[in-house]
Structure 1
């Protein structure tokens, strides 16, 4: 199984849509526990993250802590986002770590767990992330840039117990989210 063909159907599981925790829920500020990628509970959680992400407008990533589960698992899919250059499609990583990061750039971020705010965060614009795929446990390295790099770092932060608000330079870099009718 490669990174690019991970889907719920590949594993024979259809995910459930779960409620998303909002700050200041304690699970969002706790470091997540490593997982066994081959454990059926991890595979179920991966499918649930993808299902929840798909029904959430504008969502490009979702970590297990955001659905109340303190496990080091997250889903990402930046397909179709106008700021994305490199796109790996929908994928889930377990126990992911950033191995290389270069060229910090400031960019605006939002989060489903902080629905009323956005903020300017400096993140690497080119990264390499090592993690394991749910189900097979295969180790993969995702090398990416631009918006997908930002999304991966945002989700790794969730697994480490950080929100984007922990990364802004100060109150001057936090904004009320714009809503459109």
Structure 2
């Protein structure tokens, strides 16, 4: 397994719509494993393929809870409900944080590394992380949704409340 280099803004791949995954093989499995290692190395809770320079509809999320690591291949949002406004950051924007409003509940359909379809429901922080990573697959950056930017000191205070 390999830690990949994180692509940072203003790299154009971060604003491009990604291509669907059509081949489910060992190479895809290795890519997912590498993405996990990269996300952990850089202390993230999610990572999308374009963030490591790959223009494919692949993302992973792991918020360190009972859900474990969620692999999202060709994900689609089926339903959203509610609203939450909380701080977000992004590995492609080191040191930049902002308050973003997103649905509090999301139901998605995606495929696993073997190509099997599944549905998943998430609320709160997990729903936020999934939506953030799915935005990357559409070329949408969290900075386009920021209501107010926040300094790292304020972020730490908010996390400790």
Fold shared, TM-score > 0.5 on shorter chain = yes
CA-to-aligned-CA distance 1:56-83 (integer Å, 9 cap, x gap): 22x1000001001111101110115xxx
CA contact (8 A) 2:84 2:124 kept: no
CA 1:37–1:141 in 2, change beyond 3 Å: closer, same or farther? farther
In the other structure, the counterpart of 2:47 is: 62
In the other structure, the counterpart of 1:157 is: 135
Q: Cα RMSD (Å) of the superposition?
A: 1.6
Q: 1:76 pairs with 49, 54, 61, which one? A: 61
Q: How does 1:64-143 map to 2 (within 5 A)?
A: 64-80=49-65, 87-134=66-113, 136-143=114-121
CA-to-aligned-CA distance 1:18-76 (integer Å, 9 cap, x gap): 0101111111111111002513332221111111112222x100000100111110111
Q: Secondary structure at the match of 2:2?
A: coil
- Could you list the runs of 5+ residues in structure 1 that have no partner in the other structure? 1-14, 81-86
CA-to-aligned-CA distance 1:102-128 (integer Å, 9 cap, x gap): 001111100110112111111111111
In the other structure, the counterpart of 2:38 is: 52
Report the number of matched residues: 155
CA distance in 2, matches of 1:37, 1:102: 33
TM-score computed with the length of structure 1 as normaliser: 0.80
TM-score computed with the length of structure 2 as normaliser: 0.90
- Could you list the runs of 5+ residues in structure 2 that have no partner in the other structure? 157-161
CA distance in 1, matches of 2:62, 2:109: 17
The answer on 1:23 being equivalent to 2:9 is yes
